[in-house]
Structure 1
Amino acid sequence: MRSIDTFKKTLEKRGHKFFIFAPSQGGASKENRVWRIPSLPLPGQKDYRLALPVFSDFNFLPQLPKINIIHLQHIFRMGSFGLKLARQLKIPAMLTYHTMLVDYTNHIPIIKHSGFLKSLVRGYLIRRSRRLANRCQLVIVPSKPILAELRSYGVKTRIEILPTGVDLKRFKPPKMKLPPQSLVYVGRLSEEKNLKMLFSAFATVIKKIPGAHLFLVGDGPDRKAYENLVQKSGLGKQVSFTGFLDQNKTAEYQAAADLFVFPSVTDTQGLVVVEAMAAGTPVVVVGKLGPGEIVKHGIFGFKTKNNPRDFTDKIIELLTNDKLRLKMKKAAQKEAKNYAQEKMAAKLEKVYYSLLK
């Protein structure tokens, strides 16, 4: 996970050591201070693994050096394991709540069309979130809407807002060239990212701006379906799917674009939005959850309603106004400095120390 990797690498430069417990994964290379827990692939989700319940004996404890804090990143098996380990070692446990899990019930095929099943699963997720969070000494969330959501679940534990930072050094003037009036989306190609709304909006955009081009950077379970949809909609020549790219190549696309578009309504932060800002690219986002909190409307981008018409209007406004885009470009880069990974890591370090007092 990007968030874990970013904080880990930045805090290691400040002298800290991390020991990672993660589900086993085929092809994963051996890493120093990483323990792999037996796991199985989650049905229908090849990118996710389900850890197996084999943690009761803690027979690896003699191999561990002194640990000060257990930082949980998951509310399911790995979260329960971390909490048990913290109690075994008699040290504080904290949780980062990364994902609005209840929103994903709208996108799981076997339950999304059943009101009863959806209600059942939502109730379970809320209870599970509340129980684990309230057994920790502290919870971190990436944005205010997530804090409010957890409070509505009945979470009483101390909560701190701490977004994941970005590596500003990666975002330099682009070496690559994209066609004029290019839009870029970066992220997973899956239903919860609301990409059908983006395609609908873009179909209207090219009626007004025939030369516009949309690049989708990333991969996911619905890529093939989206490629077929784009072809059937007659957008094939003006929509490109790049597939998965490494972080440096992704940064090139973000910097070379005229506009970054992000229609997701489920992202708790929207790290790629901040990265686009760091690249000096104005953004258009649906004004919900993390992206809705990050973007200052009219300053370095636009927040829209979750409908194609509003999204289309803001895209066209920016693509047809060079002066406004240039103004927003400078404002975006300035705002992104507030999310520098060094600043965010220093804040997390203070949180860690507060638990050790």
Structure 2
Amino acid sequence: MHIAHFTNTYKPNINGVVRSISTFRQALTRLGHQTFIFAPEARNYEEEEPFVFRYPAIDLPRFDYSFPLPVSPHIDWVFPILKPDVIHSHHPVVLGQVAADKAEKYNLPLVFTFHTRYTSYSYIVPFSEAFVNGIIVEWLAHYIQRCQHVITPSDGIGRMLRDYGGIRERITTIPTGIDLTPFQQADSSPIRHRYGLEQLRVLVTLGRLSMEKNWKTLLAAFAQVVQQQSDVRLIMIGDGPMREELEEYIEALGIKEHVILTGLLPFEQIPAHLKAGDLFCFASVKETQGLVIMEALAAGLPVVAVKSTGVNEVVHDGMQGLLTKEDSSELAKAMLLLLENEDLRKRLRSGALTKARTFDSRKQAERLLAVYEQAIEDKRAGHHVPVNRELLKEHRRQLGRALASG
């Protein structure tokens, strides 16, 4: 099968969408299928894989992303030559719109993965939140109706779309799979030596340094841990627009000597950095899936996290980790409990490794192929994803809030 992925973000960026596309691409290739990536250009980046086609783009330094300009005569020329069987869109706008247009032009099935809680970014636009959320929800509904199938990374997002939009057909939950091998083979010793952590207890977290990840709640919790346990360090893996603000907040909390900001790391280094920790901590309530938590489990780390959709589906409280309310004191108590109770850490570590085996990327890729095959049949039959517009109109505000809050 020939599969065309359209995405507004791809390597060298590192985020959940890029991880998902890259992981599925590798697994599909191993299964004998050909995948093509259509993404924004990345200046000064040398491609490491074949069949990546780039649209021109404008850099947006504030957001660490580039904005694609959806015009490319070269791609327009090469696209039909590739003979795709299905188009897989990862965003409902910009290159996602190009994907939908090409699906119509070439009579191809369109599959859309609902990666992101889009309304959680409404704060970026200087209008009322309710107004912006309403526009986003209407746009999503319009886009989904152009598709043959919608994929959600978690059951929670699927339930929201069913309950508030009446989308009950041609919707499937398929979490991003994980290649477990790099996590099983990673050696954490060089990382602990590099940062002088041999005799210390280490918490690790991972994610883009941006507002929606709720970093200040996590750091406030860690500051409470430091007050009781001075021999702890926190490794924060990632970068983003909040880095300078978070550095100032860390200093204000008096924990600068206890926090290690690694900056952006290539994926190849992440398994070893995760395994350098004794536990993984996370405070975001905006996750659609909790991919970074899945990776933490693959590294054998027990998790302390805030209860939220996406996170709840990966970690069961008391089995792979401890889940708390969105409260820094509650998070701190859970962190301290795990740090002080070695038997509990060992039990949750065993649960983490067991759960991680269910994330095998080949299994998820096989499920994705089944969706593609169904989408091809539905396109031939003239079927699209049905949206109940009356139900959506009635519950539009609830859906906007639910997608924003988690």
TM range (shorter): over 0.9
In the TM superposition, 1:1-357 aligns within 5 A as 1-30=18-47, 32-42=50-60, 44-47=62-65, 49-54=66-71, 59-60=76-77, 64-106=81-123, 108=124, 111=126, 117-154=128-165, 156=167, 157-172=169-184, 174-176=188-190, 177=192, 178=197, 179-357=199-377
- Say if 1:180 and 1:258, in contact at 8 Å, map to a contact too: no
Q: TM-score, normalised by structure 2?
A: 0.82
- What RMSD over aligned residues (CA atoms) do the two structures have, in Å? 2.0
Local SS of the residue matching 2:318: coil
Distance 1:143 1:175 in 2: 34
> CA offset at residue 269 of structure 1?
1.0
> CA offset at residue 202 of structure 1?
0.9
- Say if 2:281 and 2:303, in contact at 8 Å, map to a contact too: yes
Local SS of the residue matching 2:64: strand
> CA offset at residue 43 of structure 1?
7.0
Distance 2:207 2:230 in 1: 25
Counterpart residue identity of residue 327, structure 1: R
Structure 2: segments with no counterpart, 5+ residues: 1-17, 378-406
> CA offset at residue 29 of structure 1?
2.8
Local SS of the residue matching 2:23: helix
Q: Which protein, 1 or 2, shows the higher relative CO under an 8 Å CA cutoff with sep ≥ 6?
A: 2
Pick which of 340-349 and 274-283 moved more.
340-349
Structure 1: segments with no counterpart, 5+ residues: none
Say if 1:248 and 1:54 are closer, same or farther in 2 by CA, change over 3 A. closer
> CA offset at residue 55 of structure 1?
6.6
Counterpart residue identity of residue 118, structure 1: E
Local SS of the residue matching 1:171: helix
Say if 1:299 and 1:174 are closer, same or farther in 2 by CA, change over 3 A. same
Say if 1:149 and 1:43 are closer, same or farther in 2 by CA, change over 3 A. farther
Instruction: Decide which structure has greater helix share.
Output: 2
Q: TM-score, normalised by structure 1?
A: 0.92
- Say if 1:260 and 1:281, in contact at 8 Å, map to a contact too: yes
Distance 1:227 1:348 in 2: 41
Pick which of 50-59 and 5-14 moved more.
50-59
> CA offset at residue 319 of structure 1?
0.5
Distance 2:360 2:78 in 1: 35
Counterpart residue identity of residue 174, structure 1: S
> How many correspondences in the alignment?
350
- What's the % identity of the aligned pairs? 36
> CA offset at residue 302 of structure 1?
1.1
Distance 2:21 2:74 in 1: 26
